[in-house]
Amino acid sequence: MSSIFCPALFIAAPSSGQGKTTITAAIARYHRLQGRKVRIFKMGPDYLDPQILEQASGHPVVQLDLWMAGEEYCRHQFYKAAETADLILVEGAMGMFDGEPSSADLAATFGIPVALLMDVKGMAQTAVALATGLANYRDDVRVVGLIANNCASERHRQLIADALPSELPLLATISRDPEISLPERHLGLVQASEVSVELEACFNKAAEMIAQGELASLPEAIEFKQCNLPAVPRTLEGKRIAIARDEAFSFIYAANVQLLEDMGAELLYFSPIRDEQLPTADALWLPGGYPELHAKALAENHHLKVQIRDFYCADKPILAECGGFMYCLESLRDLEGQQFSMLGLLDGDAAMRERGGCQGMQFAVLPEGELRAHSHHRSAAENTPAPISYGRRQRHPAPGEAIFRAKGLTASYLHLFFPSNPSALTALFAAKEA
């Protein structure tokens, strides 16, 4: 088994909201400006952070999760990146030890050194105590230093630096500056495509702060071992799959797209907001996103709605995930309480709400087989028909998300990770024989 050595660093934090995406993007942008090729991976089932990180690094960002994707898939992705990268960065999820598996588990499995990021607002030596405790919590995780985010002054920085033990150096200090804060909304960060110009200024200013510390140098090179995954059968050869992709529907794993292409499918993208013509296709994929922010435009695109309904009536395969599921219902009530007419392929109404819905990792239990998936939404579906099944949660006995089927339509709040079961995916997208 061959291996490659490549500099790598895992950015982890004590909790969410510490600034992981901002700082990971800043490190990537700094090294990109030095002419280096930076590859970033995002821990967990996240769609928004990867959009930000892709713009910062100039390369697609792949989501990695030991439960959803498996160790061999993750190993393969790291090795492929190490073949061409000058630096590999991994942004963790939630707190460093939160979840099963956690960010710490991913870092430990592949021996990636961890830079601990902490928002130090309102504390100094206490931040050091917390950092030291996290660094020594597990023997199999190697923390190589602290990044102090939201630092108020040079004196604040000095207090932290003086209190740190020698084995836990201060890698970087990020000043308290609203100009490097990333904009957020109800499901997380605002999509990169909506604030592209503002992000450039944010990245470049944060990169200047990275230039002042140890992170301006490449971290140590670590070994990434080769893992050759089995070749995927081209079971979708000749199939044309239309995929909704615009500001309303953008929650698309790069891994899902890659798998469809590897299986031989021809992918045709269209915008449910702007396009009046549905591509000529054998199957349709309506992924998640923010349909609630574009409900009026979706409702008023009557030509496309008619064509999607005709596609449904022809009993062709349609996969609708989360936002795509909401689009398939009769109506959608947005954040301001306004109600708009949707496709009406499935009985029911979607409504935005204050609290989150059913969250977390689940198995999508389908007649074609089980796929690994996750759920994260701030809406509820009401007056829907009886589901064909429910998602099975990773570790909790309560039923997960409802899964609906009508004609060739499969719809749910679940976001599927296609590589977890390519054969089930083939059956899901394969058109019925006439």
- Which residues are marked as active site? 322
CA–CA separation, 378 vs 354, rounded Å?
7
Nearest to 169 by CA among 136, 140, 133, 131: 131
CA–CA separation, 91 vs 28, rounded Å?
11
Cross-strand pairs, 147: 117, 172
Q: Please, are residues 341 and 299 in contact by the beta-carbon 8 Å criterion?
A: yes
- The crossing angle, in degrees rounded to 10, of helices 125-135 and 154-163 is 40
CA–CA separation, 49 vs 150, rounded Å?
20
Strands 360-366 and 369-375: antiparallel
DSSP state for residue 332 in the 8-state scheme: E
DSSP state for residue 359 in the 8-state scheme: -
Identify the helix (H) or strand (E) that includes residue 121.
Answer: none
Phi, psi of 330 (to 5 degrees): -75, -35
CA–CA separation, 409 vs 284, rounded Å?
9
User: Is the sign of the CA dihedral 385, 389, 395, 398 positive or negative?
Assistant: positive
